């Protein structure tokens, strides 16, 4: 079984612990729950399957039951609170605590670099701008950004992008991309992806006043649909995004960095009325 600091999901950690014990002994869910002091013999089975969550009280009992000590207990508690957190701010707090503990023990937490990459719009813009401006100093790259960004932030971003493998330095202040495009996994990085979408959504709102209609394209449609239609539309959006990415990758004379947001979200609860209005 992997060390606890290689986990981010406490449900998966507990399930692996149970499977490991069961593989080497006549271990059962009833026995597991009894050791942890729970009356219900299926309580921990429900926790492991994700049907229910541990609380601040029960997580200490479980940590003691499975024999966690020292930093393992602290990490387990942070992992439980990360999994149970209701807001992105809370999730980020506990994820950073887990990452710090893992790094102290020279263990890389899965998706750490990707989380940092998507956590700010700066990394994504710098990744595109740096190869377009060979020899440019961080201050020059900062001035090329529409949004205000200090030169020191550009320098830190460049250092991170090179270290994490998003950029490769091939000369003094000369960079090239290791991949033409970067795409995040919705399943693997939900917190980081939400953080990125939130920032980019705010920048999209800002663009309404910052740029003329000739420099930006923002349209929308409000429509009544059912779940099956929703899935079909999502498929079309995914296909359109892939085609647009292919078009962008074929560009050999890059002069500017753009952001495309594809947004589809509910404006009402489920009702039985079909209405459609369009707006621009």
Residue 237 gets which letter from DSSP? H
- The predicted structure's pLDDT at residue 215: 92
- The predicted structure's pLDDT at residue 108: 44
CATH of residue 53: 1.10.260
199, part of any domain: no
237, part of any domain: yes
229, part of any domain: yes
- The predicted structure's pLDDT at residue 186: 46
Return the bridge partners of 220, or none: 279
Residue 6 gets which letter from DSSP? G
- The predicted structure's pLDDT at residue 198: 84
145, part of any domain: no
Number of other residues whose CB lies within 10 A of the CB of residue 90: 13
Distances (CA, A) of 103 to 5, 108, 189, 260: 9, 6, 19, 34
- The predicted structure's pLDDT at residue 126: 94
Phi then psi for residue 175, to 5 deg, are -130, 155
For the chain (length 280 residues), average pLDDT per consecutive 10?
A: 84 90 83 90 88 89 87 91 90 87 61 72 91 94 93 94 90 86 55 79 91 91 90 87 81 89 86 57
- The predicted structure's pLDDT at residue 111: 58
Using the 3D structure, point to which of 69, 94, 109 is the last residue of a domain.
109
20, part of any domain: yes
Range of the domain at 260: 213-279
Helices marked H in the chain? 10-24, 29-35, 43-48, 56-65, 71-84, 88-104, 112-118, 121-132, 138-144, 151-163, 190-210, 227-249
245, part of any domain: yes
In sequence order, what are the residues at sequence separation of 6 or more whose Cβ sits closer than 8 angstroms to the Cβ of residue 53? 47, 80, 83, 84
Per the structure, how many domains does the chain have? 2
266, part of any domain: yes
271, part of any domain: yes
Using the 3D structure, point to which of 109, 131, 166 is the last residue of a domain.
109
Using the 3D structure, point to which of 52, 85, 109 is the last residue of a domain.
109
- Are the C-beta atoms of residues 260 and 244 closer than 8 Å to each other? yes
């Amino acid at each position: 079984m992997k060390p606890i600091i290689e986990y981010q999901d406490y449900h998966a950690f507990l399930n692996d612990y149970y499977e490991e014990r069961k593989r080497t002994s006549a271990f059962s869910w009833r026995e597991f729950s009894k050791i942890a002091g729970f009356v219900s013999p299926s309580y921990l089975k429900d926790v492991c399957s994700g049907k229910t969550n541990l609380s601040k009280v029960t997580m200490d009992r479980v940590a003691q039951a499975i024999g966690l000590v020292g930093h393992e207990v602290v990490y387990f508690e942070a992992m439980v609170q990360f999994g149970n957190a209701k807001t992105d701010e809370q999730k980020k707090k506990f994820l950073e605590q887990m990452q710090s503990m893992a790094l102290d023990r020279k263990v890389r937490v899965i998706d750490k670099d990707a989380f940092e990459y998507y956590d700010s719009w700066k990394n994504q813009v710098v990744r595109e701008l740096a190869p377009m401006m060979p020899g440019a100093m961080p201050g020059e790259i900062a001035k090329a950004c529409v949004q205000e960004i200090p030169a020191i932030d550009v320098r830190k971003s460049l250092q991170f992008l090179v270290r994490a493998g998003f950029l490769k330095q091939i000369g003094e202040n000369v960079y090239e991309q290791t991949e033409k495009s970067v795409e995040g996994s919705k399943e693997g990085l939900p917190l980081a992806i939400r953080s990125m979408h939130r920032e980019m959504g705010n920048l999209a709102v800002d663009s309404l006043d910052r740029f003329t209609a000739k420099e930006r394209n923002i349209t929308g449609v409000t429509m009544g649909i059912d779940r099956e239609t929703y899935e079909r539309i999502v498929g079309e959006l995914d296909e359109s995004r892939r085609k647009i990415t292919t078009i962008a990758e074929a560009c050999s004379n890059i002069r500017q960095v753009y952001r495309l947001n594809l947004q589809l979200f509910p404006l009402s609860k489920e009702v039985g009325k079909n209405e459609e209005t369009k707006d621009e």
